[in-house]
Amino acid sequence: MEHQSSTQIPHVLIFPVPLQGHVGPLLDLAELLCLAYFKITFLHTTHNHQWLTKHTDIEARFSRYPGFKYKTVPDGLPDAHPRTDPLRLSELFKGLASSAKPLLRDILVGDKVTCLILDEWLSFAYEIASEVQVPVMAFSTSGACFTWILHCIPKLVEAGDIPFKDEEMDKLVKNAPGMDSFLRYRDLPSFCRKLDTSSCRKLQHRFSGEIQLIKQAHSFILNTFEDLEGPCLSLIREHCSKVYSIGPLHAHLDYKLGTKEKTLSNTNNFLEVDQSCISWLDHKPDKSVVYVSFGSLAILTKDQLTEFWVGLVQSNKYFLWVIRPDLVIKSDLNSPITQDYLLDGTKKRGCIVKWAPQKEVLAHRAVGGFFTHCGWNSILESIVTGVPMLCWPYFTDQLINSRYVSYIWKIGLDMKDTCDRTRVKNMINDLMERKHDKLETSMSIMSHLTNKSISEGGSSYTNLDHLIEEIKAFIKKEPTF
Ligand code: UDP
C-alpha cells in the first residue's frame, strides 16, 4: 500500500436506502471494499446513524480501516415520523430526495469521489452523479428474480397480464420470459395487485423509468450468486451491460475476514439485540426450534398475530419469535392477548424477543426451521446456515421470493396469502417433521454451492475481484473538476 499515492486509491461513496435490509448488505460491501484498501464514505441518514450507534458498536467495526468514514444527511422527515411504516415508505423516499440532493452534489465533487455505489431505489441521485460525471454502480438488495420481474412489468401491463382479477390468482403469468411455466399472478410483487387501468399506467411508467436508470448505470451489482439465480441473471445481462453477482455478501465478508473476526461483521442493527435467546437455545435439543421473524418492516393485525400464535402453540414445537415493538398495528393492541393456554404454551415452549441476533440464531444447532416473511437477506442467511424455511411473504419482492424458495429451489414451503391457525400448525409440522428431511437435503446442496461461490475461485469471489478492478480503472478516467 505504501507505494500507492492517495490519488491512486479509489474513493467510493456508498448510499443505501435508510432501511435495515438495505444498510446491512451495503455495510458488508463497504467492508469488503475496505479490505481492498479503498477509501469508503458511507452516506447515512442522521436518524439511522443515531440508531445504529445507539445499538451496535459500529464505530469499532470500521475503526481498523483508516480509509472508512460516515457522512450523514437529514432524511427530511420530522423526528416522530414512523420511518419504517411499510405503508408510508414513499414519504421516506420523497423526504430523502429533497434534503439529500444538494449535499450529495457537494460530497461527490468536494470529496473527489471515484464512483457512487447507489441503492437502485434512490433514483434522484443518478441525475446528480451524471451532472458531475461520477460513474454510478447500481446496487440491488433484492434477488435477481425480483429485478427481472420488475424489468417485465411494463410489458406485462402492455400485454394485459396486469391488471388481473382476484379469481385469476392461481393462473400462470403468460408474458414473463423465463418464469412463464411456474409464476402465478399470486407471486407477482404486491404492488401489482388490485390495480385499475390508470394505476396500471402509473406502474408501467414508473418501472420503465426505474429500468432506464438501472440500464444507464455503469454496472449493476446484486447480492446473489450464479448457482442460485443463474437463469435470471442471464436474462438481466441481456439488458444491462455489466452485472456483478457477488453475494451472499455477509458470508462473503466472513470468508474474507476469516473465523477470528466474524462477530464484528454482525454489527448493523437498528434495534437492540436481545442475546438472551442464545442461552435459551443452548438448552434445547438439536433442530427442535422454529425461529420466527418477519423482518424489520412487516406489520400484522392483532388477528393475524393471534392466528400465528395459536398455530405455533398448537404445533407443540419450541419456538423463538421476534416480536418487534412495532410489529402489530398499534390501534389493535388496546386489548392484549390474554388467553391462558397461549400464555402457558409460550412459557413452556416459547421465547419472545424484540430483536434477535438473527445470523447467530440461524447458525445455532437447536434451530431446525425458519418461519420467515421471505425478505431477501433472511433467505440468504437461511441458505448460508442450511435452515429450511416456511414462508409467509408480506409485500413487494417477498411474494416472488417465496415462489422461488418453494417451487424452484425446493428449500422451503410457501403459505402465502393465508395464516389461519390450522394451516400454521400443519405447515410448521411439515417444516419440522413431515417434509423436513427432503427440504434439508435440497438446502444442504444449496448451502454447499453458496460456500463454493464465495470461496477463492468461486463465481461471487471472482466477480468481486472484477468489480474491484473495474472501480480501480475509473481512477485513470477521472474527470478534472
Ligand atoms: N434481523 C435481525 N434480527 C431480527 C430480525 C431481523 O438481525 O430479529 C435482520 C436479518 O438478519 C436481516 C434483516 O434484519 O439481515 C432483515 O432483512 P430482510 O431482507 O430479511 O427483511 P426486511 O427487514 O428488509 O423486510
CA of 49 to the centre of ligand 1 (A): 17
Distances in whole angstroms, Cα of residue 220 to Cα of each of 227, 240, 401: 18, 7, 20
Are 297 and 399 contained in the same domain?
yes
Instruction: Please give the biggest Cα pair distance in the chain.
Output: 71
Q: Is residue 129 part of a domain?
A: yes
Pocket test for ligand 1, best of 263, 274, 358 (most atoms within 8 A of CB): 358
Give the ranges where 246-332 is alpha helix by DSSP (H): 249-257, 276-282, 302-314
Residues acting as catalytic residues: 22, 119
Res 480 pLDDT > 50:
no
295 lines ligand 1 (CB under 6 A): yes
CATH number for the domain that contains residue 106? 3.40.50.2000
pLDDT given for residue 260 in this prediction: 57
How much is the average pLDDT of 332-346?
A: 80
Q: Kindly state whether residues 471 and 416 are assigned to the same domain.
A: no
Q: Is the CB of 393 under 6 A from ligand 1?
A: no
What pLDDT does residue 59 have? 81
Note whether residue 176 is domain-resident.
Answer: no
Q: Please compute the mean of the pLDDT values over residues 246-265 and round it to a whole number.
A: 83
Q: Helix, strand or coil for residue 18?
A: coil
One domain for residues 470 and 416: no
**Whose CA is closest to atom 13 on ligand 1?**
21
Is it the case that residue 22 has pLDDT exceeding 70?
Answer: yes
Q: Is residue 270 scored above 60 in pLDDT?
A: yes
Best of 249, 268, 378, 398 for a ligand 1 pocket test (most atoms within 8 Å of beta carbon): 378
Domain residues for 311?
276-450
> Residue with C-alpha cell 406502474?
203
Which carries the bigger pLDDT value, residue 113 or residue 340? 113
Q: What is the pLDDT of residue 481?
A: 43
Nearest atom within ligand 1 for CA of residue 376 = 19
Based on the fold, state whether residues 294 and 254 are members of the same structural domain.
Answer: no
- Residue 378 Cα, ligand 1 centroid: separation in angstroms? 6
Output the CA 147–ligand 1 centroid distance in Å.
Answer: 20
Residue percentage of the chain with pLDDT more than 70: 95
291 and 308 in a single domain? The answer is yes
Same domain, 286 and 372: yes
User: What pLDDT does residue 8 have?
Assistant: 86
Q: Do the domain assignments include residue 252? A: yes
Q: Whose CA is nearest to atom 11 of ligand 1?
A: 358
List the grid coordinates of 295. 423482518
Do 111 and 257 lie in one domain? The reply is yes
Burial call 385-423: b when 16+ CB within 10 Å, e when fewer: bbbbbbbbbbbbbbbbbbbbbbebbbbbbbbbeebebee
**Residues 312 and 461 reside in one and the same domain:** no
Is residue 153 included in any domain, yes or no?
no
Element (H, E) at 371: strand 367-372
Q: With a cut of 60, say whether residue 408 has pLDDT above it.
A: yes
Atom of ligand 1 nearest to the CA of 374: 20
292 and 432 inside one domain: yes
Domain annotation covers residue 179: no
- Is residue 398 in contact with ligand 1, taking CB distance under 6 Å? no
pLDDT tens-place string over residues 273-307: 999 999 999 999 999 999 999 999 999 999 999 99
Atom from ligand 1 closest to the CA of residue 293: 5
Ligand 1 atom closest to Cα of residue 372: 20
Q: What is the per-residue pLDDT across 97-137, written as a single tens digit (0 to 9) for each? A: 999 998 999 999 999 999 999 999 999 999 999 999 999 99
Give the whole-number percent of the chain exceeding pLDDT 90.
78
Condensed to tens digits (0 to 9), the pLDDT of residues 51-95 reads 888 888 788 889 999 999 999 999 889 888 888 888 888 899 898
Instruction: Give a three-class secondary structure readout of 409-422.
Output: CCCEEECCCCCCHH
Residue nearest to atom 18 of ligand 1 (CA): 375
Report CA 424 to chain centroid distance, whole Å: 24
Beta-carbon-side half-sphere exposure of residue 309 (alpha carbons within 13 Å): 24
Cα 435 to Cα 113, 383, 406, distances in angstroms = 51, 17, 12
Task: Give distance in angstroms: CA of 18 to centre of ligand 1.
Answer: 14
* Mean pLDDT rounded to a whole number for the chain: 92
Q: What is the pLDDT of residue 87?
A: 83
Number of domains in the chain: 2
164 within some domain: no
Could you tell me the pLDDT band of residue 4, with boundaries at 50, 70 and 90? low
Is residue 173 domain-resident?
Answer: no
Residues 302 and 193 in one domain: no
CA distance 217 to 30: 19
Phi, psi of 440 (to 5 degrees): -65, -35
pLDDT-derived band of residue 2, with 50, 70 and 90 as boundaries? Answer: very low
CA 466/CA 444 separation, integer angstroms: 28
- Residues ≥6 apart with Cβ < 8 Å to 142: 376, 397, 401
Q: What does the pLDDT read at residue 6?
A: 66
Model confidence pLDDT, tens digit, residues 202-249: 888 888 877 888 888 999 999 999 999 999 999 999 998 899 999 999
Ligand 1: nearest atom to the Cα of 356: 8
Domain contains 155 = no
Q: Are residue 206 and residue 141 in the same domain, yes or no?
A: yes
Residue 268: per-residue pLDDT? 78
CA atoms of 211 and 276, how far apart (whole Å): 44
What is the rounded average pLDDT of the residues 322-326? 95
Does the Cβ of 412 fall within 6 Å of ligand 1? no
Answer yes or no: is the C-beta of 247 below 6 A from any ligand 1 atom. Answer: no
Same-domain pairing of 326 and 204: no
- pLDDT band of residue 172 (cuts 50, 70, 90) is very high
